[in-house]
Chains A and B, each alone.
Chain A
Amino acid sequence: METMVSIKPLLAVLVSLAAVAPIAFSGSRPNRREGWTFGAGIIKLALILSMLPTVLAGGEIRYTVAELLPGLAIAFRVDGLGMLFALVASSLWLVTSAYSIGYMRGLKEHSQTRYFAFFAVALSATIGVAFAANLFTLYLFYEMLSLATYPLVTHHQDHEARLAGRRYLAYILGTSIAFVLPAMVIVYQQAGSLDFVRGGFLAGAGLSPALLGLLFFLFVFGFAKAAIMPFHAWLPAAMVAPTPVSALLHAVAVVKVGVFAIFRIVTGVFGPDLLRELGLGQWLAILAAITILVASLIALSQDGLKRRLAFSTIGQLSYIILGAALLSPKGMTGGLVHIGMHAYGKITLFFCAGAIFVATGLKNISDLDGIGKRMPVTMAAFFVGSLSVIGLPPTGGFFSKWYLLQGTLQAEQQVMLFVLLSSSLLNAAYFLPIVYRAFFCPPAECRVHGPLREAPLWCVVPLVVTALCSIGLFFYPDLFRRLAEIGLGL
Chain B
Amino acid sequence: MIGPEQYPAVMIVVPLLAAFAINLAGLIDRRFCYPLLLLALGVAAAAALAVLGQVMRDGPISYRLGGWPPPMGIEYVVDHLNGLVLVVTCVVAFLAAVYSKRSVERELPDKIPYFYTLFILAVTGLLGMTITGDAFNLYVLMEITALTNYALIAAGRADRAPMASFTYIIIGTIGASFYLLGVGHLYIMTGSLNMADLRTILPELYTTHAVIASFIILLLGLWIKMAFFPLHGWLPNAYTHAPTATGCLIAPLVTKVSVYIMARLMFSVYSPEFSYRVFGPAEPVVWMAVAAIVAGSLMALAQKDFKKMLTYLIVAEVGYMVGGLWLANRYGITGAVLHIVNDALMTLCLFFTAGIVVYKMKGHAFTDLRGLFRKMPLTMAAFTVGALSMIGVPPTAGFFSKWYLLLGAIEAGQWGFMAALLFSSLINAVLFFKVIEIAYFEPCGVQHGHDGGQAAAHDVIAVDEAPFSMLAPLVLVSAALLAIGIYSGSLVTNIIQYAVPAGF
Question: Do chains A and B make direct contact within the complex (CB under 8 angstroms)?
Answer: yes
CB-based contact A177/B489 at 8 Å: no
Knowing A68-B486, A74-B395, the reply to whether A186 touches B410 (Cβ < 8 A) is yes
Segment of B11-19, B115-123, B422-430 in the binding face:
B422-430
Q: Is A185 an interface residue (CB 8 A)?
A: yes
Complex Cα–Cα for A38 and B20 (A): 61
Complex Cα–Cα for A140 and B394 (A): 6
Knowing A66-B489, A110-B458, A143-B393, the reply to whether A185 touches B407 (Cβ < 8 A) is yes
CB-based contact A68/B441 at 8 Å: no
Q: Is A188 an interface residue (CB 8 A)?
A: yes
Complex Cα–Cα for A410 and B483 (A): 50
CB-based contact A67/B406 at 8 Å: no
Interface residues of B in 426-446 (CB under 8 A from A): 426, 429, 433, 437, 440-441
The residues of A that contact B458 with a CB separation of less than 8 Å are: 110-111, 157
Complex Cα–Cα for A66 and B485 (A): 11
Q: Is B400 an interface residue (CB 8 A)?
A: yes
Q: Is B196 an interface residue (CB 8 A)?
A: no
Q: Is A158 an interface residue (CB 8 A)?
A: yes
Q: Which residue of A lies closest to B408 (CB)?
A: A189
Knowing A74-B395, A185-B403, A185-B406, the reply to whether A177 touches B429 (Cβ < 8 A) is yes
Knowing A69-B488, A177-B425, A177-B429, the reply to whether A154 touches B395 (Cβ < 8 A) is no
CB-based contact B394/A154 at 8 Å: no
Q: Is B170 an interface residue (CB 8 A)?
A: no
Chain B 477-488, CB-CB to A under 8 Å as 1, else 0, gives 000000001111
Give the distance to chain B from A221, nearest Cβ to Cβ, in Å.
Answer: 15
Q: Is A419 an interface residue (CB 8 A)?
A: no
Complex Cα–Cα for A158 and B493 (A): 48
Given A68-B486, A157-B454, A158-B441, output 7 extra A-B contacts at Cβ < 8 Å: A67-B489, A68-B488, A69-B403, A72-B403, A140-B395, A173-B391, A177-B392
Q: Is A139 an interface residue (CB 8 A)?
A: yes
Q: Which residue of A lies closest to B404 (CB)?
A: A69
Residue numbers of A with Cβ under 8 A of B are: 66-70, 72, 74, 110-111, 136, 139-140, 143, 147, 151, 154, 157-159, 161-162, 165-166, 169, 173-174, 177-178, 181-182, 185-186, 188-189
Complex Cα–Cα for A68 and B395 (A): 9
CB-based contact B406/A154 at 8 Å: no
Consensus secondary structure, chain B interface: helix
The residues of A that contact B426 with a CB separation of less than 8 Å are: 174, 177-178
CB-based contact A182/B395 at 8 Å: no
CB-based contact B492/A69 at 8 Å: yes
Give the distance to chain B from A25, nearest Cβ to Cβ, in Å.
Answer: 12
Q: Is B455 an interface residue (CB 8 A)?
A: yes
Q: Is B265 an interface residue (CB 8 A)?
A: no
Q: Is B285 an interface residue (CB 8 A)?
A: no
CB-based contact A143/B394 at 8 Å: yes
Knowing A143-B394, A188-B407, A189-B407, the reply to whether A181 touches B422 (Cβ < 8 A) is yes
Give the distance to chain A from B329, nearest Cβ to Cβ, in Å.
Answer: 11
The residues of A that contact B410 with a CB separation of less than 8 Å are: 185-186, 189
**Choice from B400, B437, B455 contacting A165 with Cβ under 8 Å:** B437
**Choice from A139, A174, A182 contacting B394 with Cβ under 8 Å:** A139
Complex Cα–Cα for A186 and B410 (A): 7
Complex Cα–Cα for A66 and B493 (A): 14
Complex Cα–Cα for A171 and B175 (A): 44
**Choice from B429, B455, B459, B492 contacting A169 with Cβ under 8 Å:** B429
